[in-house]
Amino acid sequence: MESMQRQIEDYMRRRLSDFASDPNAGRVRAQLAMLRRGVGRKPGDMPDLWGLLFADMPEEMMSRTAEPTAAEWAAYTALTLYATHQQGTEINRQNMHTCQDAGRLGKAVARLVKNADDRERIARRFNAFATASDMTEAAHHLRGLIQLLRVEEIPLNYIRLAGDLYRFQNPEYAPDVRLSWGQDFYWRKPDETDDEQEGQVDSHA
């Protein structure tokens, strides 16, 4: 499990680095546009994406059956959602991938909360994602959260997300992943109000 998770995260690191370092901005825009068309689809369904998905993918991640592996699902979902997140923003202006701790999924989504009403609304969306029964459903709910992050220009750690999504598909590890997401989303300093939290978020934006 840990070995495969490292391979997935290394794969994502290479793919994201390729996008960020490519001097041809037009080519990157075209590649991300193609990836966006794959959101909500099964890995491998769209031949136009095969080169972007399978190039440089470790053989151990790839399926030997008609169904995608958990590793392929994790990488594919993370890549297509990154493309959604990056839409409308040049990578050299602001990359929506970050390796900072604030880019953990729960922490990033928590930054959408500006008041108590927001907390209830965002929590419903987040809980629907975290309790999804399969990757198709999870990707659907996660896409809505990513679109909210894009509007607010809040980056996300897509390397960690890919690893999380891989473990999320394993019934043995899924509870640990959900717990980590929930802790990151709900944890606040004692006696911290929503308004105070908003001020702290703004001061670090």
Instruction: Kindly report the CATH number assigned to the domain that includes residue 164.
Output: 1.10.520.40
* pTM, 2 dp: 0.89
Cα 76–chain centre separation: 10
Residue 187 confidence (pLDDT) = 83
Domain that holds residue 179: 2-204
The residue count for the chain:
205
Question: In this structure, is the dihedral angle defined by the CA atoms of residues 85, 77, 173 and 120, taken in order, positive or negative?
Answer: positive
**Is the pLDDT reported for residue 139 higher than 80?**
yes
| Position with higher pLDDT, 91 vs 66 | 91
Task: Tally the domains of the chain.
Answer: 1
